[in-house]
Structures are given as C-alpha cells and as structure tokens.
Amino acid sequence: MAKQTHKILKMGLMVISLFVLAACSSTSDTEGDMSGSEGSSSSANSSGSSARSSAGSNSGQLSQEEIRAQNALRQTVFYFDFDIAEFKTEDRNTLTFHARDLASSPSKRIRLEGHADERGTREYNLALAERRANGILNYLIVNGASRSQIEVVSYGEERPAQSGSSENAYSRNRRVEIVGR
C-alpha cells in the first residue's frame, strides 16, 4: 500500500517537472531568436577571448552578436506613432540590448526623456510623453535593468527635435531619448 502511494507520488512529480520543462521551452520560443542568442553572447562577454578561441565554429556568431549589441546601443532615440504611448515593435530588440547593457554595468545611469508633438493640449502631451518614457522604463526593468539606474523626465511638447507643423516634424518629435548621466 505504502509502496503504491510512493509510486503515485513519483508519477505526479514527473508530470509536474514535465510541465515546468514545457513552460520553459514555450517562453524562450515566444521571446524570439534574438533573446536566445543574446543570452549566449552575454556569457561570452564575461568569459573573454579564451572562450572565443576555443568555441571554434561558434566564434563568428558570437562576435556578430557583439556587433549587433554595439549597433543597438548606438540607437538612443525611439519614435512613436501619433497618440500612442507604446514603443514600436521593431524597437524591442534594440531596447533589450539597452536593458542588458544596464544589467551588466550596474554603475551606469541613464535618463529617459519623453516627448510629444505639438498637437493636443500641453498637459495631455506632458502626460503622454511621460507614459511613453515609462513604457520603455518598464521594459528595461523587466529585461534586467535596475530601477535606480533610470530617471524619467517628460518634456511634453516643449522641446521639439524639429520645429514646424508638418507630419514629418511631428513624427520626429514623438520620441523618447535615452541620455547618459
């Protein structure tokens, strides 16, 4: 009798661990190819050149990953659609690189400066630009940055990157800038 309970318990544990495994694989699937390979590159960064030379066929991919990270970190301005507070999907990978960069250098401090175009009232634009910056703030934190590294400020429509009342100017003014501090 006791033996049978033990068996059932064992079976149960196996089923649970299977579920856990399944959950793990599904998250890495949804995060896409970038995050998977990015994980391996950050470990390569810390292990240095000796790992690279012994990695053989992997070495090309690793340095390519580093180049991708460096290119991504060069992009510090993120543009938004009209009246939308969420950053564009195409910026997600770049922002993930920024988050990991912050996570790997805990002394680094940045400021997220939110902006809006001139349409709509000043108060609303102040709030909208803050929400844009906060959206990026949350994404950076979820991806490894620490809250204390990031300061958020909203300038609303007060500091346009480009003056004028054209759609071209508006699209350049709806932005969040990552500024070092």
Does 152 contact other proteins by CB under 8 A?
A: no
Q: Considering beta carbons, is residue 52 or 124 the nearer one to other proteins? A: 124
Q: Which stretch binds other proteins (CB under 8 A): 26-34, 39-47, 102-110, 160-168?
A: 160-168
One character per residue 36-75, x = contact with other proteins (rule: CB under 8 A): ----------------------------------------
Q: Which stretch binds other proteins (CB under 8 A): 36-44, 50-58, 142-150, 163-171?
A: 163-171
Residue 59, judged by CB atoms within 10 A of its CB (0-12, 13-18, 19+), counts as middle
What is the spatial distance between Cα 136 and Cα 8, in angstroms, rounded to a whole number? 47
**Helices of type H across 75-166:** 92-104, 122-142
Does 129 contact other proteins by CB under 8 A?
A: no
